[in-house]
Amino acid sequence: MSLLSPSLLLILILSLIYGTLFHLWRGRTWGDLGLFLLVALVGMLVAQPLGTVLGLNILKIGSTYLLEGTVLAWLLMLAVAWLKG
C-alpha cells in the first residue's frame, strides 16, 4: 500500500466517519472524539492483513477489506468505551 493509495484514502475516510458516529453515540468529551478516531483507524488498518488471512471477499473494494475493517473498528471502539466506563 503506497502512501497516497486509494485504499489508504478510503480507510482514512471510513475511520473518520466511524469515529465521529461513535462519538456522537457514546462520546462525552473532545478527548473521546480523538480517541475514537484513532481507535477506528487502528481497527481499519489492522483488519487489512487480517482480511487477507481470512480470505473473505464479501465487501471488498480494490484491496480494502470493508467488512473486516468495519467490524474490527466498531468492536475496538466498543471495547474502549467499555474500558473507559
List C-alpha distances in Å: 18 to 7, 31, 65.
16, 16, 15
Cell of 44: 481499519
The pLDDT of residue 58 is 86
Is 42 contained in some domain?
yes
Residues in a beta bridge with 64: 61
What domain count does the chain have? 1
Contact (CB, 8 A) for 40 and 15: yes
Residues of the domain holding 15: 6-84
- Is pLDDT at 79 greater than 80 in this prediction? yes
Q: Which tens digits make up the pLDDT trace of 28-46?
A: 899 999 999 999 999 999 9
Is 1 contained in some domain?
no
- Is pLDDT at 3 greater than 90 in this prediction? no
